[in-house]
Amino acid sequence: MRLFQHSPSSYPTVTNSTDEYASDEQPEHSKQDGRDTQELSDDGTEVTNPPLEPEEEVIEPIAFELQIERAMGLCTSPNRWNSKLLNTYVTLHAGESSPLITSTVPESTRPVWNHYQELVLNPQEVIEKQHLIFKVWHQTTGRQDMSCDRMLGFTSVDLGPLLVGFRSLNGWYNIMDFTSQVKGQIKIAITPKRELNQLKTKAVRFMNQGMTSPNTSGHLPPIHSSHPYHYQSTNTSTTVPVSTDSSAAARERHHQTHLRGVRESHQRLHSNRRSWEKEEPSLSHLKETLRLVIKMLQSSKN
């Protein structure tokens, strides 16, 4: 048998692949080192860029259709020198626009205004305050003048239901005086002219931000039992867009915020009443003087 001997030159040449790969990968390692160096701070800790916050969506002012229809159960004027029925009108201060003022209905305990007006509100004001304060006045002179007219009371309309799916608010609200006594009822309707879906999300986020309020007790006077159609919704399948784990806490925070706003308004109105009461003796004295002058003129003619 013949044996074939292979010379060393006949074997395949084996190259050092490790050096080859090392030379090819070296630039990548260098780049990697350079990239790591850029992500490290001076003290050697890794620097991470914070994620960019999404820009907050700008919401245009919201237009509402407002109707101040009527009132009932108003008390007569308690003034000593005036036993006539009330001459009533309603005002609303909302936003930066001039106050809304209805016409005056003379000498009636059941005035009917049927006042229709468009109301434009700032979205942030709707989210944070979530209520409107209506004031009912008794006109004491020949023209409307809130500096001397007597305020019978106020009512607070909660806008919160509009932010959780209700299409409109339409019902009777109690009129409260300075001593938290009910002085009558007023019927008000508020309907937004467009959907409030954008406000719903922002309102839930605002209520879930952990707002803290003082530990207050008491509740707003109930009126829903006697007027069951306080809130109206044209879509019965509307769901409340609030997470189940925090809906109760959010509603409680909203109630406390609403109650605190009503009490602050009540305190401001009470302070205004004290200032008016200080001026009342001078007005009474003027009327008494005028009565004496008329009596003297009549006696002089006789």
147-200: pLDDT as tens digits: 999 999 999 999 888 888 888 999 999 999 888 889 999 999 999 998 877 676
Mapped onto helix, strand or coil, the DSSP state of residue 188 is: strand
Q: Report yes or no on 202 lying in a domain.
A: yes
The total number of structural domains in the chain stands at 1
Q: Indicate if the pLDDT at residue 92 is higher than 90.
A: yes
Please give the average per-residue pLDDT across 131-145, as a whole number: 93
Q: Indicate if the pLDDT at residue 266 is higher than 90.
A: no
Q: Which segment of 3-7, 132-136, 137-141, 143-147 scores lowest on mean pLDDT?
A: 3-7
Which range of 48-52, 144-148, 223-227 scores highest in mean pLDDT? It is 144-148
pLDDT tier, 78 (very low <50, low <70, confident <90, very high otherwise): low
Listed residue (6, 7, 155) closest to 72, CA to CA: 155
Q: Report yes or no on 171 lying in a domain.
A: yes
Average pLDDT taken over every residue of the chain: 69
Q: Indicate if the pLDDT at residue 237 is higher than 60.
A: no
Q: Indicate if the pLDDT at residue 73 is higher than 70.
A: yes
Identify residue 238 by its one-letter amino acid code.
Answer: T
pTM beyond cutoff 0.85: no
List the domain range (segments joined by +) for residue 96: 63-208
Q: Report yes or no on 42 lying in a domain.
A: no
Beta strands in the chain (DSSP E): 62-72, 88-92, 100-101, 112-121, 131-138, 150-158, 168-176, 182-192, 231-232
Cα–Cα distance measured from residue 63 to residue 119, given in angstroms and rounded to the nearest whole number: 6
CATH number at residue 147: 2.60.40.150
Please give the average per-residue pLDDT across 225-245, as a whole number: 37
Please give the average per-residue pLDDT across 37-44, as a whole number: 57
**What per-residue string of b and e applies to 262-298 under the rule 16 or more CB within 10 Å gives b?**
beebbeebeeeeeeeeeeeeeeeeeeeeeeeeeeeee
Q: Report yes or no on 154 lying in a domain.
A: yes
Q: What is the CA radius of gyration of the chain?
A: 37
